[in-house]
């Protein structure tokens, strides 16, 4: 670097990689996320990619992005990136409105030609002037040319050589953030172990990008990012929400002493859960990829009847298709964990974009009186904990549990400390035993509890059938008796409601003495808490309550919400949680702020609401 270099000491920094869907932006972002996590930083990521399989190269519709924030208390990917790596003019145009003043913009100069400008619908050959980006630090780099020169003797053809240019961008970014590329090399070796020529090429280009940054003859800001200080000892990595769900289910099955079974059908953005669990035969996971959504949940019901921790994964359209079979699981009182990775709807909607549009469907979306437990993790790492909790609640209470995440949490990553198994809660399945064998019936319930006993098929003395028809509470035979039906409906409802006794109360964060309370649920946690903290620092008295438990609500919900003069509920839908709260708490006044754009909140828009 020149002597004019500027080093910014910052608590957080956000970078966004952007290019064509085939430019490897998701791969580069993922590697930088892992590298940052193992180096000791907190991270939050937001993969942002189009639904089209492959839009025309260089077009606005084909732009794929990956945003990453690293540093202290990185709960969100950042409102506005400090650094943008734009591999073509379309990527620059799509992301221009997001850039903060003084941002560093790295471009592949070889791809900023007249033809590329036309593909991105620029009217001139000066994109920065046309986009009014006069106050950014532009770093034009002939990435494609340097990659071709570097790999001319690699044995790769030209197309394969150019596919390595994302690694040049990764190396340059590591230099920019003072991250050691040596930690990235084992990741690339693992990724490309079966393709030795490509493995050698990407590692070489990674180093070339880093070295180019070291020797660059331009004045550009580099960043020294603060870490979060001393962390709890252990092994850290980055993890996305879908993977965390999968690992949480594996851990839950282990703690319960049960076989884990997943019956699933591929659907965006939930398919990675299927992929992750299918790869874990080494720990005894059984996976069935079924022909449709209905078959997948029915296979899970069969596995649950057989004594497994049974799960199924889907998104909003699939949840609608599973609704009848979910009612069967409620009627049969079998434990099922259903993961719903929400996306923009209705119908196919926005299949790769986040939205919190399935809450009311999860709570009420079945025929008859059909209560299920509904949970909502707040972050990618929380997905692990809540998946374990879902397994515990489902098994110990013999009930289906729906876990609501969305595309933001499912595909986003956070730094995660891998827990020890002895740190996790034990799970106690309510299996039948010799004490209840005499006179046992399938709907015999535990003493002072609405939870029935669980008998595996083939156990001597416990032969039984379950089904979708109503059963008599004492004889377990099919019954159409009016008073029995009402009694069974109330028992199933009370069983779910009683779970409120075993879940934590809602915690108040921020200024606890405030008159104003911000309320959120699920994936909005990071943005809302960060906004409330900034508002508190600016002198505004605002508190924050976040809900991970939707049905049943925590026991202190009503008292907490009625304590505040002003309560504002923020959510990524048209007001589903606020509608639910109003139905559960009589006479309460709640404001609402709703966003339905297929993107998360920004911290600034939340702050502006209270300006």
SS3 69: strand
Specify the pLDDT at position 49.
85
Contacts of 132 (CB under 8 A, 6+ apart): none
Give 279's DSSP letter: T
Rounded to whole angstroms, the Cα distance separating 280 from 248 reads 13
Extended strands (E) in 522-565: 542-547, 549-551
Residue pair 217/181 in contact by the 8 Å Cβ criterion: no
Nearest CA-CA partner of 568 in 603, 586, 544: 544
Longest dimension (CA), the chain: 88
Contacts of 288 (CB under 8 A, 6+ apart): 261, 262, 263, 264, 296, 299
DSSP secondary structure, 125-184, as one string: S-HHHHTT-TTSEEEEE-HHHHHHHHTTTSS--HHHHHTTHHHHHHHHHHHHTT--GGGT
Rounded to whole angstroms, the Cα distance separating 168 from 146 reads 9
Buried b (16+ CB within 10 A) or exposed e, 187-224: ebeeebeeeeebbbbbbbbbbbbbebbeebeeebbbbe
Residue pair 572/355 in contact by the 8 Å Cβ criterion: yes
Name the one residue in this structure whose structure tokens are 């570097």.
150
Specify the pLDDT at position 55.
80
Please give the domain boundaries of the chain with CATH numbers for all domains: 6-225 (3.40.920.10), 235-502 (3.40.50.970), 508-609 (3.40.50.920)
Residue pair 55/61 in contact by the 8 Å Cβ criterion: yes
Rounded to whole angstroms, the Cα distance separating 515 from 542 reads 7
Rounded to whole angstroms, the Cα distance separating 467 from 332 reads 6
Specify the pLDDT at position 204.
97
Structure tokens belonging to residue 152:
């001319």
Structure tokens belonging to residue 226:
């603060």
Residue pair 309/253 in contact by the 8 Å Cβ criterion: yes
SS3 370: coil
Extended strands (E) in 420-562: 508-510, 516-521, 542-547, 549-551
Q: How many CA atoms within 13 Å lie on the side-chain side of 338? A: 38
Rounded to whole angstroms, the Cα distance separating 180 from 177 reads 9
Nearest CA-CA partner of 326 in 365, 268, 382: 365
SS3 503: coil
Structure tokens belonging to residue 150:
């570097």
Q: How many CA atoms within 13 Å lie on the side-chain side of 516? A: 13
Rounded to whole angstroms, the Cα distance separating 431 from 412 reads 38
3-state SS, one letter per residue, for 566-582? EEEEEECCCCHHHHHHH
Rounded to whole angstroms, the Cα distance separating 455 from 21 reads 50
Give 10-residue mean pLDDT values along the chain (611 residues): 58 94 92 89 91 82 94 91 96 95 94 96 95 92 96 94 96 91 92 94 96 74 73 86 98 98 97 97 97 98 98 98 98 98 96 96 97 98 98 98 97 94 97 92 94 94 93 95 98 98 97 96 97 97 98 98 98 98 97 97 97 87
Rounded to whole angstroms, the Cα distance separating 479 from 485 reads 8
- Helix, strand, coil shares of the chain, percent, nearest 5, are 40, 20, 40
Structure tokens belonging to residue 190:
């693992």
Rounded to whole angstroms, the Cα distance separating 19 from 162 reads 13
48-54's contacts with Cβ under 8 Å and 24+ in sequence apart are: 48/599, 49/21, 49/25, 49/352, 50/21, 50/352, 51/268, 51/350, 51/351, 51/352, 52/21, 54/21, 54/22
Specify the pLDDT at position 6.
63
Give 413's DSSP letter: E
């Amino acid at each position: 670097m020149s002597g004019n270099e500027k080093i910014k000491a910052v608590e957080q920094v956000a970078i966004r990689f952007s290019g064509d869907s085939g430019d490897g932006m998701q791969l580069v972002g993922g590697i930088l996320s892992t590298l940052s996590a193992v180096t000791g930083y907190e991270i939050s990521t937001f993969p942002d990619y189009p639904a089209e399989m492959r839009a025309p190269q260089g077009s606005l519709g084909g732009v794929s992005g990956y945003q990453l924030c690293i540093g202290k208390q990185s709960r969100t990917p950042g409102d506005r990136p400090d650094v943008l790596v734009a591999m073509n003019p379309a990527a620059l145009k799509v992301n221009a409105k997001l850039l903060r003043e003084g941002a560093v913009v790295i471009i592949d100069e070889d791809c900023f030609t007249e033809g590329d400008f036309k593909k991105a619908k620029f009217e001139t050959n000066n994109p920065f002037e046309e986009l009014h980006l006069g106050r950014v630090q532009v770093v034009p780099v002939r990435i494609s040319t340097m990659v071709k020169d570097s790999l001319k003797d690699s044995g790769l053809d030209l197309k394969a050589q150019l596919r390595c240019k994302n690694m040049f961008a990764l190396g340059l970014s590591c230099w920019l953030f003072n991250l050691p590329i040596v930690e990235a090399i084992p990741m690339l070796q693992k990724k490309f172990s079966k393709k030795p020529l490509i493995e050698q090429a990407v590692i070489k280009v990674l180093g070339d990008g880093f070295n180019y940054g070291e020797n660059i003859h331009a004045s550009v800001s580099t960043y020294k990012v603060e870490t979060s200080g001393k962390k709890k000892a252990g092994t850290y990595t980055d993890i996305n929400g879908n993977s965390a769900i999968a690992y949480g289910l594996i851990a839950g099955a282990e703690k319960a002493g049960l076989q884990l079974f997943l019956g699933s059908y591929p659907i965006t953005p939930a398919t990675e859960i299927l992929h992750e669990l299918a790869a874990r035969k080494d720990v005894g996971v059984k996976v069935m990829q079924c022909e449709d959504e209905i078959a997948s949940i029915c296979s899970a019901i069969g596995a649950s009847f057989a004594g497994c921790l049974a799960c199924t994964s889907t998104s909003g359209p699939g949840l609608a298709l599973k609704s009848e079979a979910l009612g069967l699981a409620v009627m049969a009182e079998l434990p099922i964990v259903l993961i719903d990775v929400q996306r923009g709807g209705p119908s196919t909607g926005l299949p790769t974009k986040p939205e919190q549009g399935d809450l009311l469907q999860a709570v009420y979306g079945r025929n008859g009186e059909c209560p299920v437990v509904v949970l909502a993790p707040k972050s990618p790492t929380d997905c692990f904990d809540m998946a374990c909790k879902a397994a515990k609640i489902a098994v110990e209470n013999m009930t289906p549990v729906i876990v609501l995440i969305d595309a933001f949490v499912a595909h986003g990553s956070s730094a995660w400390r891998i827990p020890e198994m002895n740190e996790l809660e034990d799970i106690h399945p309510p299996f039948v035993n010799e004490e209840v064998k005499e006179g046992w019936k399938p709907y015999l319930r535990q003493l002072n509890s609405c939870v029935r006993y669980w008998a595996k098929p083939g156990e001597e003395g416990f032969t039984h059938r379950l089904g979708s028809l109503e059963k008599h509470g004492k004889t377990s035979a099919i019954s159409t008796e009016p008073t029995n039906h009402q009694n069974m409906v109330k028992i199933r409802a009370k069983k779910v409601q009683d779970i409120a006794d075993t879940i934590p109360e809602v915690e108040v964060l921020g200024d606890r003495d405030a008159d104003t309370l911000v309320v959120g649920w699920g994936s909005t946690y990071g943005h809302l808490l960060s906004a409330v903290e900034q508002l508190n620092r600016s002198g505004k008295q605002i508190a924050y309550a976040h809900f991970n438990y939707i049905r049943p609500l925590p026991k202190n919900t009503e008292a907490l919400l009625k304590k505040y003069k002003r309560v504002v509920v923020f959510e990524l839908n048209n007001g589903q949680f606020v509608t639910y709260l109003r139905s559960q708490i009589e006479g309460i006044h709640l404001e609402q702020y709703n966003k339905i754009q297929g993107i998360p909140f920004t911290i600034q828009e939340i702050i502006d609401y209270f300006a």
